Amino acid sequence: MLEKIKKYRRLWGVLIPYLIWIGVLFVIPHIKLFGLSFIDYRSDEITLGNYSKFFSSPLYRRVFLRTGIFAIATTMLTLAISFPTAFIITKILGKTMKSVVLLAVILPYWISELIRAFAWMVLLRETGVVSYMLQVAGITSENVEFLYHNGTIMVGLIYTSMLFMIIPIMNSLDSLDDSLIEAAYDLGGNFWSTMKEVIIPHSGPGIMVGSTMVFMLNLGNYVTVTLLGGKNSLWFTENIYNQFIVRFNQNQGAAFGVILLTFSVLLVWLSLKVTKQDMAGAM
């Protein structure tokens, strides 16, 4: 009996700091955000006006839809790049090369997102490295501006979030016994059929975790989008920023934040249902 009490004490000793951390940094701020979204900015009365402003404004709806579409597209492109990378690192490279390549993938993430975004600006601006190299190669005779385009935003977002897709997929592939792949070939399967019937289904939880993380990061990104896309990048997080910081309308910004959070949670839930994954299995 005493041993059980000691065991539970140790368990709560570990859980309590974690629960406090989650409560202070996640639960309480979201409750506060939700409450603010129903308060009128001028009269401090309870209202749905902050939400109706979003649904009645074609501009806000258009920016929101654009943000969602781009976040989904960027997540899919990140998956298309990251899955082969994770497979090569996990199943093809030797032990030494695996460590070297994995370090090369992880190393850029030791630097803050802001510095990485500035690095892309140095590469892609009108007088940047890429424009200069194109002139040296004779492809163009004048400076080319690569910044402030949709493609530039997507490149920046993919680069920023790729690690969060690679690592979960690698974790799933690590648990895949190589003998299963060999058995698939022995039974007459080729590369594509083995990939479809064995490898991808096994790595499904990793794909779901990675896709969820990347989608959330892209949907709520502000730094990379603003620096690479400029003030006219039309990302919904800019509307939230403007309401909080520029217009000092925390109530409207809170409503926009709740709408964005609700959309992301619903989309993730829907994707789990469609792919027949459950959050316990995916996470």
pLDDT of residue 68: 93
pLDDT in tens, 40-49: 888 888 989 9
Q: How far is CA 75 from the centre of its chain?
A: 7
- The model's confidence at residue 95, banded by pLDDT at 50, 70 and 90, is confident
Q: Give, rounded to a whole angstrom, the gap between the first and last alpha carbons of the chain.
A: 34
Percent of the chain with pLDDT over 70: 94
User: How far is Cα 199 from Cα 202, in angstroms, rounded to an integer?
Assistant: 5
pLDDT of residue 166: 94
**237 vs 138, which has greater pLDDT?**
237
pLDDT in tens, 167-199: 999 999 988 888 888 888 878 878 788 888 888
Q: Among 10-14, 27-31, 64-68, whose mean pLDDT is lowest? A: 10-14
pLDDT of residue 74: 95
pLDDT of residue 7: 66
- Please, which residues bridge with residue 39 across strands? 46
Which of 277, 282, 265, 276 has its CA nearest to residue 169? 282
Percent of the chain with pLDDT over 90: 34
What is the pLDDT averaged over residues 3-24?
77
Taking residue 7's Cβ as centre, other Cβ atoms within 10 Å add up to: 10
Residue position matching structure tokens 């990251």? 82
- The model's confidence at residue 282, banded by pLDDT at 50, 70 and 90, is very low
- Burial environment of residue 152 by CB neighbours within 10 A (0 to 12, 13 to 18, 19 or more): buried
Helix 250-274 to helix 28-36 angle, to the nearest 10 degrees? 120
Q: Which residues contact 252 (CB under 8 A, 6 or more apart)?
A: 41, 50, 53, 243
Q: How far is CA 265 from the centre of its chain?
A: 13
Domain 59-282 class, CATH top level? mainly alpha
pLDDT in tens, 247-265: 889 999 999 999 999 999 8
- The model's confidence at residue 38, banded by pLDDT at 50, 70 and 90, is very high
Residues 66 and 234 sit within 8 Å (Cβ to Cβ): yes
Residue type, 34: F
Q: Among 11-25, 44-58, 114-128, whose mean pLDDT is lowest? A: 11-25
- The model's confidence at residue 132, banded by pLDDT at 50, 70 and 90, is confident
Per-residue b or e along 179-214, where b marks 16 or more CB atoms closer than 10 Å to that residue's CB: eebeebeeeebeeeebbeebbeebbbbbbbbbbbbb
- The model's confidence at residue 1, banded by pLDDT at 50, 70 and 90, is low
Which of 41, 46, 34 has its CA nearest to residue 251? 41
- Report the mean per-residue pLDDT for the chain: 87
User: How far is Cα 50 from Cα 55, in angstroms, rounded to an integer?
Assistant: 9
What is the pLDDT averaged over residues 89-103?
87
The ranges assigned to domains in the chain are 59-282
pLDDT at 281 over 60: no
CA distances for 260 relative to 53, 61, 72, 207, angstroms: 14, 11, 14, 23
The encoded tokens of residue 277 equal 């994954």
